[in-house]
Amino acid sequence: MKIPLLLLSFLCISCSHTPVSNTQVEPSTVGLSSARLQRINNLIDQHIEEKKIAGAVTLIARKGKIAHLRAAGLADTNKAMKTDSLFRIVSMTKPITSTAIMLLYEQGKLLLSDPVSKYIPEFKHQKVIEMLPEGSEFPYKLVPVKRDVTIHDLLTHQSGILYLASTGWFPNAKREQVVSFYRDAGITDGFCRPDETIGDMVKRLAKLPLYAQPGETWEYGLSVDVLGYLIEVVSGQKFDQFVQTEIFDPLKMQDSHFYIPKHKLSRLTADWNSDWKGSLERVTGPLIDGDLALCPNDAYATSGKYLSGGASVLSTAYDYFRFAQMFLNKGELDGVRVLSRKTVELMTATNHSAKHDATLLHSHGWKFGLGFAIQQDRSHSVDSGDEGVYEWAGYYSTRFSINPKEETITLFLSQTSPFGAHFGLWDKITALSSSAIAD
């Protein structure tokens, strides 16, 4: 695929639906260096020229102001990336879902210590798998849970619920056995289920064995999909309606959707497979990694009833900036309070996962709060970041990071698979974002 040089530096300078251009400021006014931010442009352009990614949008904000917002490369074949391009943010949906749960918490409708079975009866009397020694008559046995799965367990991924794709990340016999139960029950990791609702899937999932006793391990998985259905049960609203009313509308996230309105479909960014060595291929059907089945095809982006708490949202750089800025402002944006200061402090505390580190995207030194990983110290890396930085990512190579100490937000949006290939690029972007601070 040949990418015209003109498109490498394509900028959207006229986006009528949101006042993005009106919010940009000269970097020096918020203590950032224009020359140093240019290094991010050079880095992204290099990756596009080397055909590692087709395109990307990057955003750097500080002290509530956008100092850098740039689109480069292609959004689709022969279509330039724009700053208002729509992305499948996949697991960056999880902080949004977690925020929705905390809104119900603030309304007095639930406690984090509540057992999930209080609201979803199928979670009663759960069992945990224990593998038996090799040579035993059966490979495993099922034992009762020591305690019920709680809402807090779901928020912190300590429920014992897995993703099917985890067999590729951390293979072992017990994981393979649990995932085989999932497959037999028709459980999937994604949102490609036009024939059922999230509640249908969650009720089946609840009856399957857990990988571990609740609270005894950190396992990234379908816990937040359970939270999506829990929101419906507790609020009495459809999940997407609750999020629209309580989060998207107050924050004026006008381009964030579970399913894209058809008139916005032309702004949807395509997915690309990359070998990270110079070969890019546009994905034309469902992209599957292990058993992770998401639907990147255009038709499914506009309709469906399966509302995944862990993966369904599509959004733009500007919209997600507004969501992140609300957190940086301790729960408020543009005079509208979404969360209380104390709730934001609760969500960003580092002791929720106790002794367990959040090691899927990071090494040791990162904990998991109520919706994202949080840097506890520098034992994970010496490259960049401060204690208290919190961030998460999406499967198609989208990432965000919030640094409360420096009042900065860093966003990188691409649609490139496999997911892990972009880790080095992201680490360089966060290092360049940090080193652009000039006050």
Non-local (6+) Cβ contacts of 305 within 8 A are: 194, 196, 197
Identify the three-state secondary structure at position 86: strand
Of 249-263, 266-280, 290-304, 360-374, give the lowest mean pLDDT range.
290-304
For 202-209, the CB contacts below 8 A with 24+ separation are 202/120, 202/122, 202/226, 202/229, 203/120, 203/122, 205/161, 206/116, 206/120, 206/122, 206/123, 206/126, 207/122, 208/178, 208/181, 208/182, 209/126, 209/127, 209/128, 209/129, 209/142, 209/178, 209/181
Whether 393 is covered by a domain: the verdict is: yes
pLDDT at 382: 58
pLDDT per position as a tens digit, 74-117 = 999 999 999 999 999 999 999 999 999 999 999 999 999 999 99
pLDDT per position as a tens digit, 381-436 = 556 678 899 999 998 999 999 999 999 999 999 999 888 888 899 999 999 999 99
Q: How far is CA 417 from the centre of its chain?
A: 15
Instruction: Note the maximum CA span of the chain.
Output: 70
Is the pLDDT confidence value at 17 over 90?
Answer: no
Q: What domain range includes position 23?
A: 5-87+268-304+311-347+383-435
Whether 67 is covered by a domain: the verdict is: yes
What total of structural domains would you count in the chain? 1
pLDDT at 428: 95
* Strand-pair partners of 351: none
Non-local (6+) Cβ contacts of 182 within 8 A are: 162, 164, 205, 208, 291
CA nearest neighbour of 327 among 377, 240, 391? 391
pLDDT per position as a tens digit, 155-166 = 999 999 999 988
* Strand-pair partners of 403: 408
Whether 248 is covered by a domain: the verdict is: no
CA-based end-to-end distance of the chain: 42
Contact indicator for 292, 395 with CB cutoff of 8 Å? yes
Whether 143 is covered by a domain: the verdict is: no
Bond into 418 cis (ω within 30):
yes
Dihedral, CA atoms, 229, 260, 256, 393, nearest 10 degrees?
Answer: 70
Whether 132 is covered by a domain: the verdict is: no
Non-local (6+) Cβ contacts of 410 within 8 A are: 59, 60, 400, 401, 403, 429, 430, 433
Non-local (6+) Cβ contacts of 210 within 8 A are: 126, 127, 128, 129, 145, 149, 159, 160, 161, 178
Q: Is 233 exposed, middle or buried (0-12, 13-18, 19+ CB in 10 A)?
A: middle
C-alpha–C-alpha distance, residues 7 and 26, integer Å: 24
Task: List, in sequence order, the alpha helices (H) in 91-139.
Answer: 93-106
> Could you tell me the CATH number of the domain that includes residue 412?
3.40.710.10
pLDDT at 297: 55
* Strand-pair partners of 79: 76
Joined tokens for residue 347: 């969500």
Highest mean pLDDT among 21-30, 124-133, 357-366: 124-133
Eight-class DSSP state of 29: G
Whether 40 is covered by a domain: the verdict is: yes
C-alpha–C-alpha distance, residues 273 and 140, integer Å: 38
pLDDT per position as a tens digit, 44-61 = 999 999 999 999 999 999
C-alpha–C-alpha distance, residues 271 and 297, integer Å: 9
Is the pLDDT confidence value at 287 over 80?
Answer: no
The mean pLDDT of 233-261, rounded to a whole number, is 96
Whether 9 is covered by a domain: the verdict is: yes
Whether 375 is covered by a domain: the verdict is: no
